[in-house]
């Protein structure tokens, strides 16, 4: 399943490598990773989406915190957070295209429906800019392709996430609240004692060296 | 030079030494070179720090590690840029896997040429990133003191580990104001996911109360936390037997009636059987390594698990914990002890004790002298000799990796913490000799023994010269069977006795020692073991003994990879190695 982590990290050289390296060590594929400045001048905020077994989240979060450069980590699911992605799409739109001279106006209409903006016009192409959830972006791309437009280039930022109505570490600090976030009970799922706890399907556990031996 | 009160302007190199001296460092293991020459030049101004010249930088990192393990303090090693820095890597990885506080200082090319493939330039912070707890690149003199002080805090706090500080040559040469107090790092922030709440403690206490067959799994965290007394009090209050990991040996006295011995791949049968039979496992500062669990699917199937651990990422990693108390072991146990109800039912202990009788592993000790010398004899006799001389508490054994390491763990009964120094997690051959040098500097008054195989000993044998240069009275016992013994045993068991690259030719170790000016002896008969051990121990100088032991001996019991903990392979009952002279 996909996990989304929002991490506040030191804004220093090499921090991105440390975070990326951690996922590599756990043999987890990063689906997307965005990083940029945050409300703190000395810290960057990252949104990391990775594909990992359901129970892996605790260990990933704990491992992120083990990096000396990590200030705060939050794991969010889709309902708890606003998740956005920015996408640039270059579409072929010249007189030689299947839709001919009408292609541009049709692309404008499509863009309107998806609330995308035209940011560049060239004789043979149009560039669209769109912000939204990943599924909305995929929707626009699909419609363009299914309408026989040639998508020349796509550049996506990857997901950025922010917890809804949840205060960041700085607000906590201003409020004098300890940001050390205690584990909620759901971080330790109740184990059904009649079932062998280790008899979980192999996909549920992070791979370890012993499995290979 | 006073370092703590004055605020003089110093060079970066001087600031480094002043900071190390301020952190109470008295011994540094290192090797000079171009990019660290300013630091070595400044050394003469700091007479309180003794620099030990090693023969290979790997030795320096192992020495710092051995120093830290034997003393509980931070070990410091130093190397130049490029090859000097890369040679530290194995030692840093060794320290990382066993959570040992080590600081490595490396010289780096000038910041102006960073990234240009300058002479002896290597990206050592990149290389060591996965094998250090943290590392730093310092390019300005004024950053040296705060960075080094922060490195000490990181190395020793939470779950300890190695930290590397890479300092460019121009930072070493530049001048800056030195203020030790001002360089103090901000208060240590514990891992935000530490979690010890009263409901969890009550839950744990309830599990303990209900348990009929509890076992404590004693790990390295006991020693790191200094929780030896609390663990013993906990065990004694409920009469809970204690099984130890390799790095947990010595945390609990081996002679204590509740101490079972080592668990895991080469653990004694009754220890592993007790774990498999248990209805409650109390994991104290250990991480359920694959070498102690065997096959996870069949590991302790009836047992609930209480995991007390300072590193939240270890919780539920290999074994699912029913109750996880994430915090410092000593503090957690101090919260639990006052609420622990006493219990003196000895039925479970008797059951375990009854199963000891059949343990084949003890046979070798009981074997009358049959003309053969076994490694087990040597280790047993080193232990007996120290015990008879009343030096057991004053003995530190430093092992290498392989068969002799497991025999040591089985036959040497460690009564005190930090009396065994061994590479557990990484299993680094070549560790013993340099780590023993570090241990001797940490505990000059103690008897330090190197126990190494003929293979591992040759990996770092050059450090014999360091022993002589530093005039160290270290006892070296080479357990020589002409093989890479553990490799040979696996080839015998799993590869149809195809001894591919496991027979090893060695020099005459006694002559090798003599070439270094170290006295030595060859021993191949049981009767000579104790007299030679006494001679070595009391000689007041370094002494090397080459114990020529039987060639194809195996470590038993043994759990094959992937097998369950109770499916151990015993020593064959008709082992030709066990035949007496009359049988032959």
Domains with residue ranges and CATH for chain B: 9-177 (3.40.50.970), 198-356 (3.40.50.1220), 360-578 (3.40.50.970)
Residue B353 CB: number of other CB atoms within 10 A? 14
Let me know whether A7 and A70 are in one domain. yes
* Mean confidence (pLDDT) of chain B: 94
CATH code of A55's domain: 3.30.70.260
Query: Which pLDDT score, from 0 to 100, does residue B362 have?
Result: 53
What HEC string does chain A produce?
A: CEEEEEEEEECCCCHHHHHHHHHHHCCCEEEEEEEEECCCCCEEEEEEEEECCCCHHHHHHHHHHHCCCEEEEEEECCCCEEEEEEEEEEEECCCCCCCHHHHHHHHHHHHHHCCCEEEEEECCEEEEEEEECHHHHHHHHHHHHHCCCCEEEEEECCCEEEECCCCCHHHHHHHCCCCCCCCCHHHCCCCCCCCCHHHCCHHHCCCCHHHHC
Q: Note the pLDDT of residue B99.
A: 98
Q: Could you tell me which chain A residue has the CA closest to the CA of B130?
A: A21
Confidence of residue B13 (pLDDT cuts 50, 70, 90): very high
**Residue A95: predicted pLDDT:** 78
- List the single best residue of A10, A24, A68, A70 to mutate versus B (max B Cβ within 10 A): A68
Residue B360 clears pLDDT 60, i.e. is over it: no
Residue at A196 is within a domain: yes
pLDDT-derived band at B364 (thresholds 50, 70, 90) equals low
Q: For the whole model, what pTM was predicted?
A: 0.90
Residue A183, pLDDT > 50, answer: no
Give the pLDDT confidence score for residue A103 in this predicted structure.
Answer: 79
Q: What is the pLDDT of residue A195?
A: 39
Q: Based on the domain organization, do A148 and A119 belong to the same domain?
A: yes
Q: What are the chain A neighbours of B197 within 8 Å (beta carbons)?
A: 182
Q: State whether A6 and A70 are in the same domain.
A: yes
Q: Which CATH number goes with the domain that contains A103?
A: 3.30.70.1150
Number of Cβ pairs < 8 A linking chain A and chain B: 85
For chain A, the average pLDDT equals 82
For B518-548, how does the pLDDT look when each residue is reduced to its tens digit (9 = 90+)?
Answer: 999 999 999 999 999 999 999 999 999 999 9
pLDDT value at A204 more than 60: no
* pLDDT computed for residue A172 by the predictor: 53
* Cross-chain CB nearest to B297 (options A72, A199, A213): A199
Q: Is A46 found in the same domain as A29?
A: yes
Confidence of residue A190 (pLDDT cuts 50, 70, 90): very low
Give pLDDT tens digits for B176-187.
999 999 999 999
How do residues B267-317 score in pLDDT, each as one tens digit? Answer: 988 999 999 999 999 999 999 999 999 999 999 999 999 999 999 999 999
Q: Is residue A183 situated within a structural domain? A: yes
Q: Quick one: average pLDDT of A42-67?
A: 95
- Co-location of A11 and A38 in the same domain: yes
Same domain? A151 vs A171: no
pLDDT of residue B356: 82
In angstroms, the Cα distances linking A148 to A142, B255, B564 are 10, 81, 60
Q: What is the pLDDT of residue B277?
A: 96
In chain A, what percentage of residues exceed pLDDT 70?
Answer: 76
Our answer to whether residue B486 is catalytic in this structure is yes
For B18, the token pair is 């002043």
Closest chain B residue by Cα to residue A206: B317
Q: Is residue A213 part of a domain?
A: no
Q: Do B312 and A197 touch (CB under 8 A)?
A: no
| Residue B120 designated active-site | yes
Give residue A60's domain range.
2-76+167-201
Of B312, B313, B343, B339, nearest in space to B325 by CA: B312
Residue B215: pLDDT over 70: yes
In this complex, do A210 and B296 lie within 8 Å of one another by their Cβ atoms?
Answer: yes
Q: Which residues 3-62 of B have a C-beta within 8 angstroms of A? A: none
Asked if A117 and A150 sit in the same domain, the reply is yes
Is the predicted pLDDT of residue B424 greater than 50, yes or no?
A: yes
**pLDDT by residue (tens digit) across A90-111?**
999 887 777 776 778 889 999 9
Tell me what percent of the residues of chain B surpass a pLDDT of 90: 90
Q: How distant is the alpha carbon of residue B551 from its chain centre?
A: 27
Q: Using 50, 70 and 90 to split pLDDT, how confident is the model at B387?
A: very high
CB contact under 8 Å between A17 and B126, yes or no, is yes
User: Which of A165-169, B147-151, B236-240, B552-556 bottoms out in mean pLDDT, i.e. has the lowest?
Assistant: A165-169
pLDDT at A79: 77
Can you tell me the mean pLDDT for B181-207?
95
- Mark whether A147 and A114 lie in a shared domain: yes
The reported pLDDT for the residue numbered A205 is 43
As a whole number of angstroms, the distance between CA B350 and CA B493 comes to: 34
Domain-located, residue A110 = yes
Determine, yes or no, domain membership for A135: yes
Q: Tokens standing for B359?
A: 């343990």
Residue burial A122-152, b: 16+ Cβ < 10 Å; e: rest: eeebbbbebebebebbeebbeebeeeebeee
What does the pLDDT read at residue B561? 87
User: Touching check for B311 and chain A: CB below 8 Å?
Assistant: yes
pLDDT at A185 over 50: no
Catalytic residue among B78, B265, B406, B486: B486
Q: Do A197 and B190 touch (CB under 8 A)?
A: no
Yes or no: say if B260 and B278 are a contact pair by the CB < 8 Å rule.
no
Which of B154, B315, B561 lies nearest to residue A68, judging by beta carbons? B154
Same domain, yes or no, for A86 and A105?
Answer: yes
**A35 within domain boundaries:** yes
Using an 8 Å CB-CB cutoff, list chain A residues near B125: 14
Q: How far apart are CA B525 and CA B310, in angstroms?
A: 47
pLDDT of residue A75: 94
Residue of A58, A68, A196 lying closest to B316 (CB–CB):
A58
The reply to whether B119 belongs to the active site is yes
End-to-end CA distance of chain B: 71
A119 in any annotated domain: yes
Whether residue B313 and residue A66 make contact (CB cut-off 8 A), yes or no, is: yes
Q: Do A72 and A93 belong together in one domain? A: no
Which range has highest mean pLDDT (A126-135, B446-455, B560-569)? B446-455
Separation in Å, CA B121 to CA B56, B89, B94, B106: 18, 15, 24, 11
Q: Decide if A211 is inside a domain.
A: no
Q: Report the percent of chain B where pLDDT is more than 70.
A: 95
Residues A58 and A88 in one domain: no
Q: A198 and B304: CB-CB below 8 Å?
A: no
pLDDT digits (tens, 9 = 90+) for B102-116: 999 999 999 999 999
Residues of B in contact with A183 (CB under 8 A): 193, 195, 326
Contact A35, A81 (CB under 8 A): no
CA–centroid distance for B514 within its chain = 29
B191 with A63: Cβ contact below 8 A = no
pLDDT above 50 (res A196):
no
Give residue A78's pLDDT.
Answer: 74
> Residues A42, A63: one domain?
yes
pLDDT (mean) for B357-380: 73
HEC profile for B316-354?
A: CCCCCCCEEEECCHHHHHHHHHHHCCCCCCCHHHHHHHH
Residue B581 has pLDDT above 80, yes or no: no
pLDDT by residue (tens digit) across B45-104? Answer: 999 999 999 999 999 999 999 999 999 999 999 999 999 999 999 999 999 999 999 999
Number of compact structural domains in chain A: 2
């Amino acid at each position: 399943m996909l996990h989304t982590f929002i991490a506040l990290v030191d804004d220093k050289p090499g921090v991105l490598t440390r975070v990326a390296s951690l996922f590599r060590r756990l043999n987890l594929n990063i689906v997307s990773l965005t990083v940029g400045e945050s409300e703190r001048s000395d810290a960057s905020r990252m949104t990391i989406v990775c594909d990992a077994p359901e129970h892996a989240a605790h260990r990933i979060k704990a491992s992120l915190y083990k990096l000396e450069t990590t200030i705060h980590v939050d794991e969010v699911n889709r309902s708890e957070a606003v998740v956005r992605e920015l996408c640039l799409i270059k579409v072929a739109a010249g007189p030689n295209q299947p839709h001919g001279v009408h292609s541009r106006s049709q692309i404008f209409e499509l863009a309107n429906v998806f609330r995308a903006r035209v940011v560049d016009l060239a004789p043979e192409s149009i560039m669209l800019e769109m912000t939204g959830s990943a599924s909305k972006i995929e929707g626009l791309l699909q419609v363009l392709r299914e309408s026989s437009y040639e998508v020349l280039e796509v550049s996506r930022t990857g997901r950025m996430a922010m917890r809804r109505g949840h205060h960041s570490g700085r607000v906590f600090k201003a409020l004098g609240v300890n940001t050390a976030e205690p584990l909620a009970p759901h971080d330790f799922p109740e184990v059904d004692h009649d079932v062998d706890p280790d008899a979980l399907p192999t996909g549920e556990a992070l791979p370890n060296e012993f499995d290979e031996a | 030079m006073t370092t703590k009160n004055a605020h003089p302007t110093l060079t970066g190199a001087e600031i480094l030494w002043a900071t190390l001296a301020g952190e109470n460092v008295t011994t540094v293991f290192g090797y000079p070179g171009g990019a660290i020459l300013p630091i070595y030049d400044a050394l003469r101004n700091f007479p309180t720090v003794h620099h030990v010249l090693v023969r290979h930088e790997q030795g320096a990192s192992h020495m710092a590690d051995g120093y830290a393990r034997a003393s509980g303090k931070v070990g410091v090693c130093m190397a130049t840029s490029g090859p000097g820095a890369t040679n530290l890597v194995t030692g840093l990885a060794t320290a990382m896997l066993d959570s040992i506080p080590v600081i490595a200082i490396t010289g780096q090319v000038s910041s102006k040429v960073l990234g240009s493939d300058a002479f002896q330039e290597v990206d050592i912070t990149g290389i060591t990133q996965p094998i250090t707890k943290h590392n730093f690149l310092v390019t300005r003199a004024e950053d040296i003191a705060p960075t080094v002080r922060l490195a000490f805090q990181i190395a020793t706090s939470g779950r300890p580990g190695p930290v590397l500080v890479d300092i460019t040559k121009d930072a070493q040469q530049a001048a800056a104001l030195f203020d030790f107090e001002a360089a103090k790092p901000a208060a240590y922030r514990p891992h935000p996911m530490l979690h010890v709440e009263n409901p969890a403690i009550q839950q744990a206490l309830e599990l303990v109360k209900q348990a009929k067959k509890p076992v404590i799994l004693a790990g390295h965290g006991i020693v790191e936390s200094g929780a030896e007394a609390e663990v013993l009090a906990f065990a004694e209050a409920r009469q809970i037997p204690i099984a130890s990991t390799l790095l947990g040996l010595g945390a609990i006295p081996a002679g204590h009636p509740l101490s079972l011995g080592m668990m895991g791949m080469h653990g004694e049968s009754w220890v592993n059987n007790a774990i498999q039979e248990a209805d409650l496992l109390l994991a104290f500062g250990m991480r359920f390594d694959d070498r102690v669990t065997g096959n996870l699917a069949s590991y302790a199937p009836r047992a609930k698990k209480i995991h007390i651990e300072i590193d939240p990422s270890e919780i539920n990693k290999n074994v699912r914990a029913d109750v996880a108390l994430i915090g410092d072991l000593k503090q957690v146990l101090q919260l639990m002890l006052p609420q622990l109800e006493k219990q003196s039912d000895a039925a479970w202990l008797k059951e375990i004790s009854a199963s000891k009788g059949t343990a084949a592993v003890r046979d070798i000790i009981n074997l009358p002298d049959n003309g053969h010398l076994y490694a087990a004899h040597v280790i047993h006799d080193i232990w007996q000799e120290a015990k008879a001389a009343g030096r057991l508490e004053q003995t530190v054994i430093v092992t290498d990796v392989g068969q002799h390491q497991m025999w040591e763990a089985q036959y040497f009964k460690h009564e005190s913490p930090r009396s065994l120094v061994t590479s557990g997690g990484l299993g680094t051959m070549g560790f013993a000799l340099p780590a023993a040098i570090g241990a001797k500097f940490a505990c000059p008054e103690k008897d330090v023994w190197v126990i190494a195989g003929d293979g591992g000993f040759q990996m770092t044998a050059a450090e014999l010269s360091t022993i002589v240069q530093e005039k160290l009275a270290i006892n070296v016992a080479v357990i020589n069977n002409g093989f890479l013994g553990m490799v040979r045993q696996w080839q015998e068991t799993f590869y149809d006795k195809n001894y591919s690259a496991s027979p090893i030719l060695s020099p005459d170790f006694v002559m090798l020692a003599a070439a270094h000016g170290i006295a030595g002896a060859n021993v191949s008969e049981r009767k000579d073991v104790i007299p030679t051990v006494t001679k070595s121990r009391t000689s007041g100088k370094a002494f090397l003994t080459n114990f020529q032991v039987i060639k194809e001996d195996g470590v038993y019991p043994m759990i094959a990879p992937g097998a369950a903990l109770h499916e151990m392979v015993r020593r064959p009952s008709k082992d030709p190695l066990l035949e007496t002279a009359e049988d032959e």
